[in-house]
Amino acid sequence: MDLNSNYKHPRLFGRNLNSVTCKCLSLVVILLVLRVVLLSSFSDYGRINQKDIDLIPSRSLSLDSDYGVRKDKFLEVPQIVWGLNNQKIAFARACLTARMLNRTLLMPKLSASLFYKEIDRLQPISFDKIFQFERFNSLCNGFVQLGQYSDVRNHSGVYELQKGSGRRWTVERDLDQLRQFIQDPYNGHEVIRIVGKNPFLWHDHWPVKDYARVFECLVLVEEIEKEAAKVISKIREVGREVRSNIENPSNSSDSDGSSLQAVPYVAVHMRIEIDWMIHCKKLERRSNISQICSSKEEIMERVGNIVGMKTPSVVYLAVADSLLEDPSILTGWKHGLLPFEKKKLGVDGIYKKYPYLIQSAIDYEVCLRADIFFGNSFSTFSSLIALERTQKMIRMGVTNTCGMDVRWPSYAYNILGESNGPQRWMTNMSDARLQAISYGTNTIYC
């Protein structure tokens, strides 16, 4: 049977469509319809692609990827506590955890005060009161991302993730838990809120270079930056006056200040507080390491034994306020080394205006910019300064500073080096263990 025997040709404008003319006309109409449909589809595709490019969850877990971080899902962490640099490490760890979960980290609360055990007395302070929020996102764009709580659409769509604790909660178990939360059903929640301990105490899964990349994005707010600049300017001014008096006593005024920026200074992070000495003695016994604690006399001796250090040099002592009334920290230094702390320098009023966290941030900048820095390798404060100074040298093309005369040298005074001086210090940026910049070590690359 012919399937087309009963088919009647349709009519268009009174003509049969089997004519050549009508068939051509029909083809033109069909093409016009298809064109409209296709153009509409491509237009919609373009709008979706532009709007939702950050929502594509195709990124692998590797932190070497730079495809961007999803901005419609968020991670919330507990208030960050303890010292400034422990807080910076905790913040970086929270950022990297959010990155692994392909989420934006909601801007966390830092702690302006310093109470190790009285958590309820910690004074919260917003991240953007210390560091520049927009600048952070600009510098870390594509690597990690900070968000505001106002970015959250549904504040009831929160899932709480309880971090494990204790000896049974191993690094492997912690990593397995994070991997689970990348998947559904957890991945469907707009906000994952981690509850429990401070992020500084979380297990670590990332190498030093990933932490360093986050630290590079932390830029102090303008107010704190200006205060640090005032302290540094005062140090250089004192150094200029001292050097001018020695080299040209008949014309010591140099009123134009043209040589102010050329005067070098040395910064020493003196970890000799009573609570630190108790802690480091216990740490030495527990870890069976003798090179952790350093007395005031040992620090003075080793700093004075640096070969080739130009004198006279102003030595800025970054010390706790409790030691500012102790005149003994200013005596006993080698001839040509001129020690100053906040009070003698006349800048203690700058520090007293602010809570602990901002005071520490100012001191950090002063030490970071010093021509030579001396610290304790078991101190987080000193370790992060050494790391940033290492990064500066790497950017200058220097890959190994050991035994070289370089622009930004750092030394660990708690480790004996050549000529009875401190050991040269450079952070190993390829280290896979956070211990190199956090928990303390006497393996300092050089």
Amino acid at 233: S
Q: Provide the total of helices (H) and of strands (E) in the chain, helices listed first.
A: 12, 15
389 in Cβ contact with 395 (< 8 Å) = no
Which is nearest to 218 in space by CA: 302, 144, 307? 144
What sign for the dihedral angle of Cα 377, 379, 380, 381?
A: negative
Q: Give which of 251, 193, 231 is closest to 365, Cα–Cα.
A: 231
pLDDT one-digit tens code per residue, 201-237: 899 999 999 999 999 999 999 999 999 999 999 999 9
User: How would you label 138-151 residue by residue, b for 16+ Cβ within 10 Å and e otherwise?
Assistant: eebeebbbbbeeee
Q: Which has the minimum average pLDDT: 112-116, 335-339, 340-344? A: 112-116
Q: Quote the pLDDT of residue 44.
A: 37
Which residue, among 379, 264, 275, has the nearest Cα to 310 in the 3D structure?
264
Whole-number Å distance between alpha carbons of 290 and 401: 25
Average pLDDT of every residue of the chain: 81
- Average the pLDDT over 377-389 and give the result: 92
Output the pTM of the full model. 0.79
CA 331 from centroid of its chain's CA atoms: 36
Least confident of 266-280, 344-358, 393-407: 393-407
pLDDT 10s digits, 328-339: 889 999 998 999
* Cβ partners under 8 Å of residue 54, min gap 6: 68, 69, 70, 71, 72
Q: List residues bridging with 147 in a β-sheet.
A: 106
Backbone torsions φ then ψ of 195, nearest 5 degrees: -115, 155
Q: DSSP of 54-119, one letter per residue?
A: GG-----S-TT--S---SSSEEE-PPP-SSHHHHHHHHHHHHHHHHHTT-EEEPPEEESS--SS-G
Q: Range with the lowest mean pLDDT among 117-121, 190-194, 262-266?
A: 117-121
pLDDT over 50 (residue 374) = yes
Q: Going from the N-terminus, what domains does the chain have, and what CATH number goes with each?
A: 70-217 (3.40.50.11340), 222-245+262-439 (3.40.50)
* Pairing, β 11-12 against β 15-16: antiparallel
Q: Determine the Cα–Cα distance for residues 51 and 99; give it in Å rounded to an integer.
A: 20
pLDDT in the model for residue 307 = 81
Q: What is the pLDDT of residues 161-189, one digit of tens each?
A: 998 888 899 999 999 999 999 988 888 89
What per-residue confidence (pLDDT) applies to 23?
Answer: 55
Residue closest to 372 by CA, chosen among 443, 311, 287: 311
Which residues, in sequence order, are CB contacts of 366 under 8 Å at separation 6+? 228, 231, 232, 235, 267, 316, 318
Tokens of 385: 């300064």
Task: Reduce the DSSP state of residue 200 to 3 states and report it.
Answer: helix
Residues for the chain: how many in total? 446
pLDDT at 132: 98
Find where tokens 């520090």 sit: 351
Please tell me the chain's helix, strand, coil percentages from 3-state DSSP, rounded to the nearest 5: 45, 15, 40
Confidence check: pLDDT of 66 > 80: no
State yes or no: pLDDT of 426 exceeds 60.
yes
For residue 277, give every residue at least 6 positions away whose Cβ sits within 8 Å of its Cβ, in sequence order, or none. 293
